[in-house]
Structures are given as structure tokens and as C-alpha cells.
Amino acid sequence: MTNQPTRRRPPLIEVAGVSKVYPSSGGPVQALDTVSLDIGDGEFVSVVGPSGCGKSTLLLIVAGLLPASSGEVRIGDRAVSRPQTEIGIVFQNPVLLDWRTVLGNVLLQVEARDLDLAAFRPKAQALLTSVGLEGFEDKYPFELSGGMRQRTAICRALIHDPPLLLMDEPFGALDALTREQMRLDIERIWMQSRKTVLFVTHSISEAILLSDRVVVMSPRPGTTERIIPIDLARPRALAIKDSARFAEFSRTITDIFLDRGVLRY
């Protein structure tokens, strides 16, 4: 067991004063308000906040899939001004192609990048085995459970070995037991690869269990209320939820949401 959290490395992602305003029939809607954040190379950072606070908007801006209204995002030494290719993205909906098998869906990423399919097939098999999908390579999405479909989507996001993984509520549609297993799987994969991960969630406990730091967002327009380092030992088994330190982190984040009126007794 690792007794100390990951030591932060130089930033891979720098978010500097990012705001986002959406036009609407009722007038402009501000989703984000001058958000600033840096994420170290190899760090696992979760963003937690209420619905509508701009968590997903922030992730899409980092991915280059949505322009910021003001401010800047940098990945490495480059400003983000267009969709990024050296990333992996996992959404709440796995977005699998129904007419392709599990293996075919994972290798779709390889085909889209015009890479050597034969060279990546063993890696795809190894990724599927690592998430418990060995023997399901030739199954189609309709033959899989929700958790199995999401595991397939995660393998697809990892097949090209991106340095940065963006995850937007990837467990949101899953039942409680499957969420716990997926959380354990993601932590194990991250500890093996040490990729930089930006993880968006509504779940306080999920954020604490997975992260090196938790970014707590305010209600809309979303801004950074507080960034909390999580110094729990890894790997984080289910029993860690019973620890006093876990309870302390949970109370701290819950109290922020109570103070901001997100939660009410």
C-alpha cells in the first residue's frame, strides 16, 4: 500500500481565468466565471459541484471541443485553440457503435487515427482483460450490461496511450455496486499508468476516493470555491470510507455546499 499521496509534478494543464457565456433566447447565461486551476503531470483531479455549475463545460473547454468566452487553457506548452488529439475522453454515455463488436469499438480509435490495426490488437485485448472483459471481445453492445459498455468505452479512450484522460460523469448511469467496481478499476489503471486525469462527478465520495485533489465548484456561474488535497493512502479499498480522515473530507465538502445553499437540511 502506498502510504503517501502522489507528489505533484509540473502542470500539464493550466486553466487561467476561464469564463464561458452561452447565448440563449432569454439572454446570455454565464456557465463559468474566471476559473483558474492547474493540474500536475500524472495527477488525478476531480471536479465536484451541483448540476449546471459548468463542470462539463470546463472539461469540454480543456478538450478543445468548446471555446472559452475569455481566459486560456494550456496543455503542456500549447494553448488550446482546437480539438485535442492526444487525449482520451469518456462520457456518461459510452457512445458505442451498435454494429461493431467490443473489440471493434475499442479499435475504432486506432482506425480513426490511421494506425496499424494489427499492432494495436494485442494491446486492445490486454486492456479488455484488465477490466474484466476477456471473452467478450466478439460481443455486441446490446449483449453487454451498462458497466461492461462503459468499460469498453474506457478501453477505447486508452488504446492510443494518451497522456491525458478526461472523464465526464462516467459512472453516472450505473448502479451502486457497478460504480464501486468501476471506481476500483479506474484507480488501478491510473496507478499503473499515472496518466493525468480530469474527472467530473456529482458524487462527493467518488471524488474523495479517486483523487489527489478535489476541486469544489460553486453554483452557476461556476467558479472554484476550494481545492482540497486528499492525503489518503492508495490503493483506496472500500473500507477507507469508514475512516475518520475520509469522514473529515466528506464533511468539509458537504459544509461548503451547505454554506452555498446547494444542500439544505
Cell numbers found for residue 149: 459498455
Which residue segment(s) compose the domain that 119 sits in? 91-162
Helices and strands per DSSP (H, E), number in the chain: 7, 10
pLDDT of the residue at 8: 57
Tell me: do 187 and 249 sit in the same domain. Answer: yes
Measure the CA–CA gap between 153 and 165, rounded to whole angstroms.
Answer: 12
First to last CA, the chain: 38
With H, G, I as helix, E, B as strand and everything else as coil, classify residue 230: coil
Any domain includes 178:
no
Tell me: do 72 and 202 sit in the same domain. Answer: yes
Segment (H or E) for 21 = strand 11-22
Which CATH number does the domain housing residue 4 bear? 3.40.50.300
Tell me: do 133 and 42 sit in the same domain. Answer: no
pLDDT of the residue at 11: 86
Q: Which long-range contacts (CB under 8 A, 24 or more apart) does 2-7 make?
A: 2/191, 2/233, 2/234, 2/235, 3/233, 4/231, 4/233, 5/212, 5/229, 5/230, 5/231, 5/232, 5/233, 5/234, 6/42, 6/43, 6/44, 6/194, 6/212, 6/234
Q: Based on the structure, what is the number of domains in the chain?
A: 2
Q: What is the pLDDT along the chain (265 residues), one digit of tens a residue?
A: 454 444 556 789 999 999 999 998 888 999 999 999 999 999 999 999 998 899 999 999 999 999 999 999 999 989 999 988 889 999 988 999 999 999 999 999 899 888 899 999 999 999 999 999 999 999 999 999 999 999 999 999 999 999 999 999 998 878 888 888 889 999 999 999 999 999 999 999 999 999 999 999 999 999 999 999 999 999 998 889 999 999 999 999 999 999 988 877 7
Cell numbers found for residue 205: 465520495
pLDDT of the residue at 238: 86
Any domain includes 177:
no
